Structure 1
Amino acid sequence: MELKEVIHTYYHQLSKGQQKVANYLLEKPREFAIKSAQEIGTDAGVSETTVIRFCYAIKLSGFSELQKRIREQLLFQESSLGNYYSSKLEIAEEPNFFTQVMEKDREQIKELISLINEEKMNQMVDQLVKADGIYIAGMGISFSAANWLAFTLGLVKDNVKLVRSDTDDILFTLSRMDSQSVLIAISFHRYLKETIKIAKLAKRQGATVVGITDTPHSPISEFSDILFPIFPYKKSTIDMATGLFSFLNAVVAGVTVTNSNGFEKQKEQYEELFRNYFFIEGGEVK
């Protein structure tokens, strides 16, 4: 049972002082996660003893257990999985569940469209078209997007590389970056350190760093020359995937039409490769 439900269960059995503590907890749970019982008492206008007795009244062993419960629940609520689960529970009992999930995706893309800055998009595309080397970094939940972007962008532009911390020599890869390179760093909530470090070192090498992230104040912003905070409002990182892939598709489309000559060259090479090596004719692999 969540703390909110526990408090509602015992609320009318609490003294007036304990109800003040309960109200303060419901209003500002973060304060309880970081402050002492004495500080909470001062903020709520009651004694430290009243705070302790409140814990006993809702059947907890003391203030330490209350803090532990609050921290665990805040962590769950702020996790991608927690937000994802909560958002789906809200519509689980309603009709047309799957339609509603997809409708939420459409709403998210519409919201993202309203945030698009065409000037910044064109600036990024120009940098990508001019670049001698393009590097894509994204770890954890961002890896699938980084992998897709590296593959798809590589179909329309040469010298595109996915940076992988599990198989690549990162220092060797970074040593090849210079002022003619662009790093696209995809980094969302939980902000894995590897992506941040790669962006920091790429910037030292003189590369242009494009940050694709959730909020303007995320860690990647410090090292980004061009920043796209495409999800400034709190959402599950899992639910961001639809909007993120739509955004990345727009990036690839922009490079394709801007780099039309280069695209035609890449297209010819790609088709020649498949024609000579991968198509099956007469039952034989050519």
Structure 2
Amino acid sequence: MENNKQDLMKLIQIKLPHMSKGQKIIAKYILEHYDKAAFMTANKLGAAIGVSESTVVRFAVVLGFNGYPKLQKSLQELIKSKLTLVQKMELSNDSITQENVLKSVLKADIENIKSTLEKINHQTFEDIVNSLFKARKIYIIGLRQSAALSGFLAFYLNLILDNVKLVEYGVSDIFEQMLNIDNKDILIAIGFPRYTVRTIEAISFAKGKNANIVVITDSLLSPLAEKADYTLIAENNITSFVDSLVTPLSIINALIIAVGLREKEKISSTFSTLENIWKEYKVYV
């Protein structure tokens, strides 16, 4: 992650002497305030520093990007893992108002799903499903904001398979919960900015035991993806203090359904038994 930041900053510095006056103003602003520039449109960035929108677009092209949105996305990749809640709040105040909040959030989630559908590797998805059936045990971890995702995945996979273990904070440490993991097992790790140290450590621990690693995260630049055997990327480009879980949850839904379709008879029997239990103990209205 840090290397990617240095590469982009170094590129700007190398190109700086050959830039126009307006482009130099943009370059210096980004070098000093890349965390703010990352979430500005070309028009807003230009207005903030006194240059035209077209100058901002040409600046991105000079750096080798196919338009300003590509440069902006590259900047966002650099900083989103480090944004504090206060910074996210400030950014969301800039882009989302009380009047447009519903439309803005729903539209952003739709765009994230569309982008994910276009980019996701379908073969990787199939390989992961196949690997789940070969695994002796499936460990699932997702901490803090990703705990809802890992819990959801573990809950439904437990209804289909008999070898699922949710790794979570509790009486025992996560390493104790993964004590017997080895090359016959799979760890599914879920994490989005800001990435938790413990999740990354759990991946390293499992990798050291030669377990297969499946990661669901937002980018190949994610520290979770570094040691993964399989990575599923869920776009998560919403500027808000609340992390959107819509896209990763959609991918997780697909995984659950794909596994379930191969175990139709077992699921039918399990659900029939569960319905009797729920009825007897009045679980549902």
Using structure 1 for the length normalisation, give the TM-score: 0.65
Correspondences of 1:186-197 after superposition (within 5 Å): 186-197=190-201
Measured in 1, the distance between the counterparts of 2:241 and 2:154 equals: 20
Measured in 2, the distance between the counterparts of 1:20 and 1:121 equals: 42
- The offset of 1:248, in angstroms, is 0.9
Measured in 2, the distance between the counterparts of 1:180 and 1:205 equals: 10
- In structure 2, the CA distance between the partners of 1:264 and 1:87, relative to structure 1 (3 Å rule), is same
Counterpart in the other structure of 2:159? 155
Measured in 1, the distance between the counterparts of 2:165 and 2:84 equals: 28
Runs of 4+ off more than 6 Å: 19-23, 74-77
User: Are the aligned partners of 1:133 and 1:180 in contact in 2 as well (CA < 8 Å)?
Assistant: yes
Counterpart in the other structure of 1:90? 95
- The offset of 1:20, in angstroms, is 12
Rg: which structure is higher? 1
Gaps of 5+ in 1: 1-18, 32-73, 282-286
Counterpart in the other structure of 2:170? 166
Counterpart in the other structure of 1:130? 134
Counterpart in the other structure of 1:266? 270
- The offset of 1:115, in angstroms, is 1.6
Counterpart in the other structure of 2:250? 246
Identity of aligned residues (%): 29
Residue from 214, 222, 227 that aligns with 1:223: 227
- The offset of 1:114, in angstroms, is 0.9
- In structure 2, the CA distance between the partners of 1:128 and 1:30, relative to structure 1 (3 Å rule), is same
Measured in 2, the distance between the counterparts of 1:225 and 1:178 equals: 14
User: Alignment partner of 1:216: what SS?
Assistant: coil
Measured in 2, the distance between the counterparts of 1:30 and 1:203 equals: 37
- The offset of 1:145, in angstroms, is 1.1
Measured in 2, the distance between the counterparts of 1:142 and 1:158 equals: 23
- The offset of 1:220, in angstroms, is 1.7
1:26 partner amino acid: Y
Measured in 1, the distance between the counterparts of 2:83 and 2:283 equals: 45
- The offset of 1:123, in angstroms, is 0.6
1:92 partner amino acid: T
Using structure 2 for the length normalisation, give the TM-score: 0.65
Measured in 2, the distance between the counterparts of 1:101 and 1:108 equals: 11
2:270 partner amino acid: Q
Counterpart in the other structure of 1:200? 204
Measured in 2, the distance between the counterparts of 1:218 and 1:99 equals: 29
User: Are the aligned partners of 2:236 and 2:244 in contact in 1 as well (CA < 8 Å)?
Assistant: no
User: Are the aligned partners of 1:137 and 1:146 in contact in 2 as well (CA < 8 Å)?
Assistant: yes
1:91 partner amino acid: I
User: Are the aligned partners of 2:112 and 2:247 in contact in 1 as well (CA < 8 Å)?
Assistant: yes
Deviations 1:166-216 (Å, cap 9, x if unpaired)?
Answer: 333433322222333211001222321211111122122232110111211
- The offset of 1:217, in angstroms, is 2.3
- In structure 2, the CA distance between the partners of 1:20 and 1:171, relative to structure 1 (3 Å rule), is closer
Measured in 2, the distance between the counterparts of 1:188 and 1:154 equals: 24
- In structure 2, the CA distance between the partners of 1:160 and 1:77, relative to structure 1 (3 Å rule), is closer
Matched, 1:256 2:260: yes
Correspondences of 1:87-126 after superposition (within 5 Å): 87=92, 89-92=94-97, 95-126=99-130
User: Are the aligned partners of 2:220 and 2:233 in contact in 1 as well (CA < 8 Å)?
Assistant: yes
- The offset of 1:152, in angstroms, is 2.1
- In structure 2, the CA distance between the partners of 1:237 and 1:263, relative to structure 1 (3 Å rule), is farther
User: Alignment partner of 1:114: what SS?
Assistant: helix
Counterpart in the other structure of 1:27? 30
Measured in 2, the distance between the counterparts of 1:179 and 1:143 equals: 25
- The offset of 1:163, in angstroms, is 0.3
2:245 partner amino acid: A
Between Structure 1 and Structure 2, how many residues are aligned? 221
Measured in 2, the distance between the counterparts of 1:280 and 1:165 equals: 29
Gaps of 5+ in 2: 1-21, 35-77
Measured in 1, the distance between the counterparts of 2:278 and 2:161 equals: 17
Matched, 1:213 2:217: yes
2:120 partner amino acid: I
